[in-house]
Amino acid sequence: MPDIRLKNDNYEFLYRTSVILFNKNQTKVLLFNSSKRDFYMLPGGKIAQKENSLEAIKRELKEETGYIDIDYSFLGVSEEFANDDNTFYQQLSLIYKGILNENIEKEEFKGLEGDWCNFKWVDIDKIDNYKISPKNIKNYIKNPNKIYHNIENLDNEH
């Protein structure tokens, strides 16, 4: 199924899902970075047509990391706006909290989708040392039992 997205002239709307994935004792969180960016993001991806957000995040995590033994709960919604290369982007992200029920084998690893895809388990008490987009995701990571709604303009962030 195709991703849910709307694109015309100088506008693109994206419907995504992501996860704040913690290790078993919730001392580490998994962050994602592509080789083209100088910041980290949450693992996740676009939601396909006729797919709900929970199915999408489970699919994305399996495709990107191979992780499948995860307990999920809904955490919040984030709306992001950005201008890039003469295109205005509007993105709606449904965010989940996840607890990985298996042991972490590597602190850093390449994603299953290619060498451009980098993952890193980060100590939560060191999260402020990392550039993460959107910025407010750090609050979600530090307080994962609160439900959030975030609206953020990303133009000046990168």
Q: What is the pLDDT of residues 94-112, one digit of tens each?
A: 999 999 999 999 999 999 8
Q: What's the CA gap between 26 and 42, in Å, rounded? A: 16
Q: Give the CATH number, domain containing residue 103.
A: 3.90.79.10
What digits encode the pLDDT tens for the residues 39-93? Answer: 999 999 999 999 999 999 999 999 999 999 999 999 888 888 988 888 999 999 9
Total domains, the chain: 1
Phi-psi region at 9: left, alpha or beta (left = phi > 0; alpha = psi -120 to 50): left
Residue 158 lies in a domain: no
In a domain, 55, yes or no: yes
- Please give the residue range of the domain that contains residue 46: 5-153
Task: Specify if 123 maps to a domain.
Answer: yes
User: Cβ of 66: how many Cβ atoms within 10 Å?
Assistant: 12
| pLDDT attached to residue 155 | 56
Residue 35 CA from chain centroid, whole number? 16
> Is residue 71 included in any domain, yes or no?
yes
Terminal Cα-to-Cα distance of the chain (whole angstroms): 31
The pTM score is 0.88
Whether 89 is in a domain gets the answer yes
DSSP 8-state secondary structure symbol assigned to residue 153 = E
Q: Give per-residue pLDDT as tens, 109-147.
A: 999 888 888 999 999 999 999 999 888 889 889 988 776
